[in-house]
Chain A
């Protein structure tokens, strides 16, 4: 009883952003068929992290493409293209992340696709939009982080620019593509008309910064200032940050320095009675906190701070987190059996419908694994 059962998605997208959107649609019940080039398939199959491969495909590929089918086609071959067009005629959604101009050359741009199927939702991801000097630049996560100003928000004052250590741009863009596709499906329910949905990595990562960019636009364009040490958000006041304790670390979110001063038994904190100074004197206050917090263990402080409802937490590694009862109670992991009998141990979809967790039914496909079945089923 998943909400998108009956929806057919053709995924021409490669790598992370587009396929992460396809994964979410698959988790929601859509049938997702990857359209891949023959033999090698999509690029992500060979992009490995930590050199990890399973059955010839990177573990990353397995992670992002579970629960999908694979159909191979050489889009430059007229015969193959004809078959793909037949699929497009029957699909509800197609996604691609080719650079601007590529789909036009193949003859599968929106206008052409719409002629084949007027009810189609045609969704595309570009790096930087379709116009302007960056339109043809490679749309890659780290590059877009670097161009978007994002690298000045993480890390400490004297650090060089610090990127976020995950594909934040790809993932956020993928979620936005899903928003657009689903909204267009809702509209189609009323109008019976398809739509063109477009997102770009750059617009998505700017959207992610909307609060701080709004602040920048309205404070005389002051650039972000990270705290000297333990910085966790360039714009937030002390105590917001991570601090060393006797045996580890503790995070302190926003809260009153007065209450904190009482629990930590540090009367020095009382001198900052104007909350504005918690930002202007942030480095000095955080220095003070550092000297106090390092004297006791994390759990010592947590016991005392949590009792007073002060927002704080331990800082965990994967090793500690994945063994924690608060993690196991989520049933966040799943093991997916591949045809080769090997198992992929991964996470599940984070969204629940009617209190039911969503688990995948199958692993990522081999290149062209479903060619025969799809040709028969759709009479291609």
Chain B
């Protein structure tokens, strides 16, 4: 039995942010019904990346929407909307990520829904909140990264802005929405009462930067400065970074610089006994380290540093990682099957409960695949 086994979620959302939340809830056991508009469905179905098409649609859609059902409905059509309202009446959770104003026009705002189903958990993700000058801007990952200050944290000092190369804003806001919904369900299980849960992509990506924004508030508002080379965190001192070796790379997290000097047999590092200098003089220290680490292989350095409990690691790509026993033992990849028999591989939920992996063999649905069955269930 999975923890959310008897929970029904009606999901009006599309793209990545909120759908990633319903994927998590589905993996935890909830039944998720995606309500999709006729013809196109969730626009993510056509959001191809690197031109990969998986059984006719985008691999991103296939990854995000496995373990869900699809109900086709035009929310502007009266008959369809009546059916969707019937579903909402039975649901524990309703989720959407329309821009502010749209849900009111559709007549599906919390005030209205609460009257139909007072115990419902009503979750939404907006781009920038419900008010202010940005409220109607498109809530898109790269734009949010760019506006939130995030692009000055990765990359090196002389690089321009460097965004994080994945949809970090979508994923975090989805994760926050799932947290809020789960907390509201905990509360509902005690009181029987529903609740509105709201998340915005901007607040979520600011929360992600809580360490650095708090620092900015306390350091007199100094501009964010990345180290000239080998930066891995603009606010951390040397050695924190990734370094080139003779045959690859080495990541070094923490470690006293003179001790590193001793282990690596690098005399110059012994000139930095003061921990403060590891931050204030990190550019020169990193330069010394970079020049030195180039001279030997990653394996050689690991063999010196790991026994001394220095936090370090090799730098892998997916080929080398997937071949590694440390990855294989996780059993992280699962095979899922679509309604038409098409099979594909994807990752599983990262959470284990009572020692069991949360897997599910159900692939992503074709548009409207479950419409008829769901209508039959309703009548």
Contact = CB atoms under 8 A, between A and B. Distances in A.
A233 interface: yes
Interface residues of A, number: 141
B131 interface: yes
Contacts of A203: 330, 332, 350
A266 interface: no
B240 to A, nearest CB: 7
Secondary structure type dominating chain A contacts: mixed
Given A146-B242, A147-B316, A165-B231, A316 B149 contact: yes
A166 B208 contact: yes
A142 B353 contact: no
B142 A251 contact: yes
B164 interface: yes
Nearest to A276: B51
Given A164-B154, A318-B149, A149 B209 contact: no
Interface stretch (A33-41, A67-75, A343-351, A369-377): A343-351
A214 B160 contact: no
B318 A329 contact: no
B212 A198 contact: no
B261 interface: no
B224 interface: yes
Nearest to A148: B321
A103 interface: no
Interface in A114-153: 128-129, 131-134, 137-138, 140-153
Given A3-B187, A140-B253, A234-B165, A326 B232 contact: no
B251 A133 contact: no
Interface in B213-238: 213-219, 221, 223-224, 226, 231-236
B283 to A, nearest CB: 15
Interface stretch (B33-41, B101-109, B192-200, B265-273): B192-200
Interface stretch (B56-64, B69-77, B83-91, B366-374): B56-64
Interface string B247-259: 0010111100000
B303 interface: no
A215 interface: yes
B318 A216 contact: yes
Given A279-B51, A321-B149, A353-B196, A312 B214 contact: no
A148 B232 contact: no
A63 B210 contact: yes
A180 B59 contact: no
Contacts of B47: 254
A315 interface: yes
B315 A166 contact: no
A207 B217 contact: no
B255 to A, nearest CB: 11
A183 interface: yes
Given A148-B316, A165-B231, A322-B216, A219 B146 contact: no
Given A133-B326, A221-B319, A355-B198, A244 B160 contact: yes
A226 interface: yes
B304 interface: no
Nearest to B248: A161
B142 A231 contact: no
B24 interface: yes
B233 to A, nearest CB: 5
Given A161-B249, A211-B49, A325-B132, A317 B223 contact: yes
A356 to B, nearest CB: 10
Contact of B332 (A177, A195, A206, A240): A206
Interface string A191-203: 0000111111011
Contacts of B297: none
A361 B47 CA distance: 44
Interface in A300-344: 309, 311-319, 321-322, 325-326, 329-330, 332-333, 344
Contacts of A172: 171-172, 175
A224 to B, nearest CB: 8
Interface string B134-148: 100110111101111
Contact of B166 (A49, A219, A233): A233
Contacts of B129: 329-330
Given A226-B165, A242-B163, A146 B251 contact: yes
B59 A346 contact: no
Given A132-B329, A208-B171, A315-B151, A329 B131 contact: yes
A63 B211 contact: yes
Given A50-B215, A186-B3, A4 B52 contact: no
B221 A214 contact: no
Contacts of A221: 318-319
B54 A218 contact: yes
B263 interface: no
A232 B143 CA distance: 11
Interface in A242-294: 242, 244, 249, 251-254, 276, 279-280
B285 interface: no
17 contacts: A60-B211, A148-B316, A163-B233, A165-B226, A165-B231, A168-B208, A182-B186, A183-B4, A195-B353, A200-B330, A206-B350, A213-B318, A234-B50, A276-B51, A318-B149, A330-B132, A350-B204
The 5 A-B pairs at the shortest CB distance, nearest first, are namely A132-B329, A329-B132, A165-B153, A182-B182, A153-B165
Interface of B: 1, 3-4, 7, 16, 24, 28-29, 47, 49-52, 54, 59-60, 62-64, 128-129, 131-134, 137-138, 140-143, 145-155, 159-168, 171-173, 175-180, 182-187, 189-190, 195-200, 202-204, 206-219, 221, 223-224, 226, 231-236, 240-242, 244, 249, 251-254, 276, 279, 309, 311-319, 321, 324-330, 332-333, 344-347, 349-355
